[in-house]
Structure 1
Amino acid sequence: MMAENNQPGRPIFPYQVKQIVTSRLILRPMCDEDIDYFHDIRTRPEVMKWTHKRKIDNDIQETKSWINRFLRPDRSNPPFHLSIIEKTTGHIIGMAGVYTLHPQAELGYMLHPDKWGVGYATEALTAFLQKWWELPRYNQDKASNIEDWLFADAHKENGVSLRLMEKLGFERYTVFVEDGDEIIGLRLRSSLY
């Protein structure tokens, strides 16, 4: 398993991003102090119905367990999960990150529903993807001819997320059923960035 993560073209971890700044947002590594903001987001059914979990966190301890996965990462769970902060308020409004490398790098994100529809997801993910493809990679010299992929998935009924992923350059490549829901698999080729 460890050898797979060291393939040419794979990002080298640990890699610490200080912050990414856009016109309206700051993306920075998650920290323990973010728990209350994420608990608010993760107790909203309209957010959680689109996640793999599909249900809200029952209590703050459950949210803490979730955030701890990103604060204390291992080789299969890279430390590249960022809180999204709205500049004007200083509040955390979501997260974006690659939450696993095995068997492939997979992107995930969530945003507070009060911030849906104003372009924050597009802005945050565009900046995140730019940084993702700039990460140092194993065997960089050998990787120049290797196409690296980043994967994501979305519920078939989540048209907004599907359109966002396609706007960012992701292409649909598979459909599968998970817990009775039809899921669209998407992938993004590194050469697009």
Structure 2
Amino acid sequence: MEYLFSIETDRLVLSDLTEDDKNFVFELFSNSSVLEFYDLKAFTSLEEAQALIEKMHKKWDEQLGFRLAIRHKQDRTMLGTCGVNTIKSIGGDFAVVIGYELHPHAWGEGYMQEALTGLIHYLKQEGLFQQQIKYVWAEIFEPNIRSQQVVHKLGFELVGKTANHTANNLSASLLKFELKLY
């Protein structure tokens, strides 16, 4: 496997998920607060965390997306993850759908805004898989106000609303936010 790139911000390092991260990944994806607005059932075993890490590596290898660990720069403590869930071709241009989550102990510190700023800057400067990215999209469940606030602060605009066709049991709609990079 070719290792992913890393991104540094003032307080954070976004870097490859490794097998050493599986305990944190399990803790993250078995936490009901994290999964409240997420399209994933709570993990019940470490094997599920390991499988998710392997799935993210495969996604990178197949040039379909990626996931980076969000780590505190000082002590490398893992706080969450973020990345590109999918890449879409739109009439000769390319768009990415981002995804992200943060452990509740790191909420309210501005970490996700900082991590996504670094990720977006990378996508704007470097592109992805030899493609220049024109749009960054985020799909957020309507009741997830905190996530909406993060993307608003980053300059995303609400561009649509769709019915929830995910495995999440929420009856709420999904809001689609867009950031145009050029």
Tell me if both proteins adopt one fold, taking TM over 0.5 as the criterion.
Answer: yes
* Larger RCO, structure (CA 8 Å, separation 6 or more): 1
Deviation at 1:174, TM superposition (A): 0.9
Q: Distance in 2 between matches of 1:38 and 1:138?
A: 26
Correspondences of 1:31-110 after superposition (within 5 Å)? 31-53=18-40, 55-73=41-59, 74-75=61-62, 77-78=64-65, 80-102=66-88, 104-110=95-101
**Counterpart position of 1:176:** 162
Contact 1:84-1:93 within 8 A present in 2 as well: yes
**Counterpart position of 2:104:** 113
- Compare the two structures and name the one with the higher strand fraction: 2
Q: Distance in 2 between matches of 1:139 and 1:127?
A: 19
**Counterpart position of 2:122:** 131
The one of 133, 152, 163 aligned to 2:149: 163
Unpaired runs of 5+ in structure 1?
Answer: 1-13
Letter in 2 for 1:125: L
Larger Rg: 1
3-state DSSP class of the match of 1:157?
A: coil
Unpaired runs of 5+ in structure 2?
Answer: 90-94
Report how many residues are paired: 170
Change (3 A) 1:36 1:127: same
Deviation at 1:102, TM superposition (A): 4.1
**Counterpart position of 1:11:** none
3-state DSSP class of the match of 2:178?
A: strand
Q: Give me the identity figure in percent.
A: 25
55-64 vs 99-108, which deviates more? 99-108
